[in-house]
Amino acid sequence: MIVYTDGSALGNPGEGGWGFVAIIDEYTEFWIDGSEDNTTNNRMELNAVIEFLSYFPLEKEIIIYSDSLYVINCASGIWKRKKNIDLWNKYEKVLGNRPIKWTKVKGHSGDRYNDIVDKLATDQAKILKKNKKYIDNE
């Protein structure tokens, strides 16, 4: 399965969003997104991967495209995991023994699916911010 993931935060910390697109075949795609308050961009980048792995626990052949060197390098063991240990523990739990082939994609470069997941993540963060502002003004 081919997957694109992305995360966004409006501020660091701030309102955050994540999104992924799982491409099953040429006719079937799943677009899934969500948000979290008081978070960081790196947490949302990693959360997008965790959410994908949680939604597709039986998928064994996984290629993940990401524009996050943080996620790719920490997940691959190139960089030491120093922060967000709670999420890295969750990642390991949902990953199990499934291998992932990581592919770096340049952000904001016109890659169709990277642009889609960027919009999913950014829109979720903006919606959360707008809803908080609305609630605060009631």
Catalytic positions, written as ranges: 6-7, 45, 67, 108, 118
Mark 63-101 as b/e (b = at least 16 C-beta within 10 Å).
ebbbbbebbbebbeeeeebeebeebbebbeebbeeeebe
Q: How many Å apart are CA 82 and CA 94, to the nearest integer?
A: 20
